[in-house]
Structure 1
Amino acid sequence: MSHRPARRAAASPLFTPHGTDRASRRAVRRRLAEATAKARAEAGAHPAGAVPTADDSPAALYPPSGRPGPASARGNRLRLPAHRMTTAVAAGAYPFLAEGGLGAEGVYVGRDVHAEASFVFDPFALYGKIEGFTNPNILLAGVIGQGKSALAKSFALRSVAFGYRVYVPCDPKGEWTPVAQALGGTSVALGPGLPGKLNPLDAAPRPHSVTEADWAGEIRKRRLLLLGSLARTVLGRDLMPMEHTALDIALDAVVTRAAASGRTPLLGDIAATLNNPDQLDTAGGVMSGRLGEAARDLAHAMRRLVRGDLAGMFDAPSTVTFDPNAPMLTIDLSHLGGAGDDTALVLAMTCASAWMESALTDPHGGRRWIVYDEAWRLMRHPGLLQRMQSQWKLSRGLGIANLMVIHRLSDLLTAGDAGSRGRALAEGLLADCSTRIIYRQETDQLHAAASLLGLTSVESDAISHLNRGRGLWKVAGRSFIVQHLLHPHELSLFDTDARMH
């Protein structure tokens, strides 16, 4: 039985040319030792500070042309044998490999776990400074109880110190009301029997740079867009051509009568005109077909806003005057109920967001946050998604940053079947978010998250094991694991688990 000779690991191939025999390597080491000893002896022979002459210098180890052979490194011909090491050794040899961060300008969020440094973020400060950062919009997703609501609230609260204003057009659980009160902002509670009322047909203030005629056309377009969104949400389908015409004519008739009496048009006026076929036909004049008959379903859909479950909220003049200098404005819709049909909530949010447009379109309004909390409840309504998309597209021009909060990435898929208009709108909102913040996701949601966000295998594994308050931040293709840190006062203000203790 033959035995293979034992092999010893040695570092000498790293310093001597590979392929030389043992005798040559011994001779090289011997000459090096002799030269070192001679140099030490010469250094001891000269007094301190003396400069040796040329005759006293030690002989060169190699000729003037340099070290011969493949180990000379001349002409990039250095060839060393492959060296294998463990990851632990490699980590010691190449330390401190971590993301450099996004800079020091912005709102403090918490701790960058990998870099062990502070993490700050400001979408307006990053715009134009990072390649691929094309818009200030943010998507925030995470399962219940992982701290995503606390992140949204603390980021909004801390942004106020930088001069930002925060608008929350839909607060379905009333969690933003304490935050608005703590900041000295305004919270409007809407619901059956409550005193708060908003007129979504209120006209926004005219900018100084726009003529009065152009602004009247812009107001008319916004009102038609609002009425169309409300009708599509109630009907659950797109409007027919004659229904579009009926809305157009009814709006013009109502605005004309309201201007003559010196008041603002109301949704109740629109519903009354649609429910009067003779009046609608008279206002339409000579036209193919009878508008009154064609607008029958539309008339019943609009009636719900003034006589149905939303009666008393949007069919009267606004009881709140919008204050553009208020640090925060929230619309509390928690009194509309939580489970079951979300149509009432979506209609209320559509009206509230239309009412807020008077502030959003102000070119001198400064930087503002628009927070869509519990946005997963809105994904099944293409009319509202279309309104949200218009704000997403105009975010840079309006100086606003939209923050959409959902539970799972698969919530975006509930907007409709593949290829449907609703699915395209929902995926468009995701595409227009340069920042994606992902808190922990359940195992069965990893595939949807990875496919929608283009996550790597390492990132997909990370989001399934994130602790509370820790999230994966994807900022224009750059990845960070950030631990959100809360002040004790913030923790007590944002506590959404109070009823569980």
Structure 2
Amino acid sequence: MRRRAHEPSALPAAGAVEIGARTLTFPHSLASSFAVVGYPRDVGAGWLEPLLAYPGRLDVSLHIEPIPPAVAAMRLRRQLARLESASRSDAEHGRLQDFGTEAAADDATELAAGLAQGHGRLFKVGLYLTVHAATDEELTAEVERVQALAASLLLDAQPTTFRALQGWITSLPLATDAIRLRRSFDTTALAAAFPFTSPDLATPVGDTAVLYGVSASGSGVVLWDRFAQDNHNSVILARSGAGKSFFTKLETLRLLYQGVEIAVIDPEDEYARLARAVGGTYLRLGASGVRWNPLDLPTGHGAADDVLARRALFLQTLIATMLGTPITPQDRAVLDAAILAAYAAAGITTDPATWTRPAPLLADLVTALQAQTGGEELARQLAPYVSGSYRHLFDGPTTTSPAGHLIVFSLRDLPEEIKPVGTLLALDAVWRRVANPRDRRKRLVVVDEAWLLMREPEGARFLFRMAKAARKHWAGLAVVTQDAADLLASELGQAIVANAASQILLRQAPQAIKTVGDAFDLSDGERQFLLTAERGEALLIAGPASRTAFYATASPEETELITSDPAELARLEPGQAPAFTTGQQDEEGDPL
């Protein structure tokens, strides 16, 4: 591993380098090299980060050579024998106990036990530093700063006296260790040397960690595992154009690498290329020929006697969202009776044997409402969804069921008036999979532009219940919105934020920064960072004492799949037909 603060210039020509005892003089700069010969007994994750983030021109070179297990075991036995012999000699001659020797013996014993049990390996590690400057005075000052920084990390950095050329060569990316001042490291200590976690994040990282980006305060990277936190939820707040959708799609793609099943509520048709590339299921609610029956009962769910009752409760929430107003207790009672009557007319009762029968349609529910005393007004208000302009999504059985490792519900084809309804239907379908006790796996539910659902009281309550219960089903909820002030202004919105262990803030509007700053207890510096952040720059918050700023980075291949920048999209080939499930079926019932 090697880090350079600036791009290296061309290598000097032969004869252009003057070699001194401790320095090399190039035509336009000087360099001095150091070898680390002393290390602290215990190190934490990212312990090399201060050196890697040094603001000057500093090369950090880490040379690693594995030691064969047989050789490592033999050397450890010899080391233990020497330490034990020294301790016995001191005891026999009445000398005071050498605590350094005792500590070394304990470490060697622990290493030998771990090696014998196969918990790790030993490596020869050489750590070298090369400082560059333009003049002698600058080099002297830089050397003092680097040595002071190394000393603060309990590292003993010694100059490569009379081996200045070898020290510089060792720091080049040539995989050549010309100094060979090495120290034995075990697997844990060596892994902690790599900048795979930010020192500002005092939180665990598990096997589903994903790369969020590069630290804004150094050259390290920010790795984050939402499934290793207290809960697996997240909120992503940003103004329009700050890069929140890009970051969300980037995390989605990288979580797919880790085997996490993901469902996305996509209001703007931004996940089409991503779904096509990974073979996901793409459901275009509102497209021609796509039908969705909200009265479908979950089959093969593994639930017991309350499936019908739960469906009736959800339908009350859905119809309240359709009507745009809360349902009164009197209307709720009438609606509940009509729902049960519609199922009974289709031959479906509380008997589980009847749950596989074809479910009634929304039109059947309206008919049942008309037959109920006091249900005429509800039936009249639901007419647009049965016989009016919004009927196309509900006037037939469901055309396809969501399945796969990536499920995307596109709402772009839905009229604006029923997008909250489509969002609620999609979330309900996702929740059926999440709550399935016979299919436990890591899942993530992404609700992009969550303000569409949060503006509806019933929809906000449904989202809140999902945020509270997702952890129990090994799932996480990612709420993405650009209306931070509106989200934080409601009690349910504040509760959703409070139930999110991962909080990501991108650039904020000046009108919302006070509300956001107070809600997340941001310092003045953090508020200024969010006001001036470039696209893709973000602040990750995981508690009062665990937060870091980073810049989301993606490879060119990832960018091509997830970008929504019109300039970049214009360079892609036009007219690409989506070769994935659209929600339509052929005559035999197979997805198109």
TM-score exceeds 0.5: yes
SS of 1:481's partner is strand
Q: Which residue of 2 aligns with 1:318?
A: 398
**Within the alignment, does 1:173 sit opposite 2:268 as a pair?**
yes
Measure the CA separation in 1 of the matches of 2:426 and 2:261.
17
The one-letter amino acid paired with 1:347 is V
Which residue of structure 2 aligns with residue 99 of structure 1? 200
Shift, 1:316, TM fit:
1.7
What is the distance in 1 between the residues matched to 2:310 and 2:210? 34
CA distance in 1, matches of 2:211, 2:398: 37
Stretch deviating more after TM superposition (375-384 or 386-395): 375-384
Query: Aligned to 2:512, which of 445, 456, 462?
Result: 445
Q: Does 1:352 align with 2:453?
A: no
Pairing 1:182-331 to 2, within 5 Å after superposition: 182-191=277-286, 194-208=288-302, 210=303, 215-217=304-306, 219-259=307-347, 262-274=357-369, 276=370, 279-280=371-372, 292-293=373-374, 295-323=375-403, 326-331=404-409
Q: Contact 2:312–2:340 (CA<8 Å) still a contact in 1?
A: no
C-alpha distance in 2 between matches for 1:374 and 1:108:
23
Q: TM-score, normalised by structure 1?
A: 0.69
Alpha-carbon contact 1:392-1:402 (below 8 Å) kept: yes
- Letter of the 1:314 partner, please give it: F
- Partners of 1:164 and 1:413 lie apart in 2 by 29
Q: Is the 8 A contact 1:166 1:329 kept in 2?
A: yes
- 1:367 equivalent in structure 2: 442
d(CA) in 1 for partners of 2:263, 2:360:
25
Q: 3-state DSSP class of the match of 2:551?
A: strand
Residue 461 of structure 1 is matched in structure 2 by 528
Q: Tell whether the 8 Å contact from 2:233 to 2:467 is kept in structure 1 after alignment.
A: yes
Match of 1:112 in 2: 215
Alignment of 1:68-79 (within 5 A): none
1:92 Cα deviation (Å)?
9.6
Q: Displacement, 1:231?
A: 2.6
> Partners in 1 of 2:506 and 2:431 — Cα distance?
31
Structure 1 residue runs without a partner (length 5+): 1-88, 128-133, 281-291, 415-422
Indicate whether 1:382 and 2:457 are aligned. yes
**Aligned equivalents of 2:554 and 2:227: distance in 1?**
23
Q: Which moved more, 1:257-266 or 1:93-102?
A: 93-102
Q: Tell me the matched-pair count.
A: 369
- Shift of residue 116 of structure 1? 2.5
| Equivalent residue number for residue 160 of structure 1 | 256
2-structure distance, mates of 1:307, 1:356: 27
Alpha-carbon distance change, 104 to 389 in structure 1, aligned in 2, over 3 angstroms: closer
SS in 1 for 2:347: helix
Question: 3-state DSSP class of the match of 1:237?
Answer: coil
Deviation at 1:407, TM superposition (A): 1.2
| Greater strand share, structure number | 2
User: What one-letter code is carried by the residue in structure 2 that aligns with 1:359?
Assistant: R
- The letter of the residue matching 2:407 is L
The answer for the alignment partner of 1:484 in structure 2 is 552
Instruction: Report the residue type matching 1:247 in the other structure.
Output: L
- Per-residue CA deviation, residues 407-432 of structure 1 (Å, 9 max, x unaligned), is 14213156xxxxxxxx2222211111
SS at match of 1:335: coil
Q: 2:358 aligns to what SS in structure 1?
A: coil
User: What is the identity, as a one-letter code, of the residue corresponding to 1:301?
Assistant: Q
SS of match in other structure, 1:175:
coil
Q: CA deviation at 1:148?
A: 1.2
Between 234-243 and 460-469, report the one with greater CA deviation.
Answer: 234-243
Identify if the C-alpha distance between structure 1 residues 100 and 388 changes in structure 2 by more than 3 Å, giving closer, same or farther: closer
Which segment drifts farther, 453-462 or 465-474?
A: 453-462
Alpha-carbon distance in 1 for matches of 2:535, 2:503 = 17
- The residue aligned with 2:564 is 496
Whether 2:409 is the aligned partner of 1:334: answer no
**Do residues 409 (structure 1) and 476 (structure 2) align?**
no
What's the offset of the Cα at 1:465?
1.7
Match of 1:395 in 2: 470
Shift of 1:90: 11
- Matched letter for residue 496 of structure 1: S
Counterpart of 1:122 in structure 2 is 225
Query: Displacement, 1:203?
Result: 1.8
Q: Which SS does the other structure have where 1:254 is aligned?
A: helix
Matched residues in 2 for 1:405 and 1:244: separation? 32
Deviation at 1:449, TM superposition (A): 0.8
Name the structure 2 match of 1:140.
236
Q: Retained in 1: the 8 A contact 2:488–2:519?
A: no
Q: What secondary structure sits across from 2:400 in the alignment?
A: coil
- Displacement of 1:440 in angstroms is 0.8
Distance 1:205 1:397, change over 3 A: farther
Give the secondary structure class of the aligned counterpart of 1:473: strand
Greater relative CO, 1 or 2 (CA 8 Å, sep 6+): 1
Report Cα offsets for 1:255-290 as digits up to 9, x if no partner. 11212693212222111211x2xx32xxxxxxxxxx
Flag structure 2 segments of 5+ consecutive residues without an equivalent: 1-143, 154-197, 349-353, 571-592
- 2:308 is matched by which residue type in structure 1? R
Q: Which amino acid is the alignment partner of residue 423 of structure 2?
A: M
Query: For residue 465 of structure 2, what is the amino acid of its counterpart?
Result: S
1:187: how far off? 0.5
Per the alignment, in what secondary structure is the counterpart of residue 203 of structure 1?
A: coil
Q: Aligned with 2:539: secondary structure? A: strand
Runs of 4+ in 1 over 6 A off after TM superposition: 89-97
CA positional deviation for 1:222? 2.6
* Secondary structure at 1:336 match in 2: coil
- Retained in 2: the 8 A contact 1:268–1:315? yes
- Segment drifting more, 451-460 vs 97-106: 97-106
User: Could you tell me whether the CA contact under 8 Å between 1:226 and 1:350 is conserved in 2?
Assistant: no
CA contact (8 A) 1:98 1:114 kept: no
Q: Between the two proteins, what is the percent identity of the paired residues?
A: 25
- Give the CA deviation at 1:379: 2.3
Which amino acid is the alignment partner of residue 487 of structure 1? S
SS of equivalent to 1:166: strand
- TM-superposition CA deviations, 1:175-225 (whole Å, max 9, x none): 112211111011011216x111122222224455x5xxxx242x2233223
Task: Say if 1:199 and 1:355, in contact at 8 Å, map to a contact too.
Answer: no
**What amino acid is the match of 1:482?**
F
Q: 2:110: which partner in 1?
A: none
2-structure distance, mates of 1:222, 1:247? 14
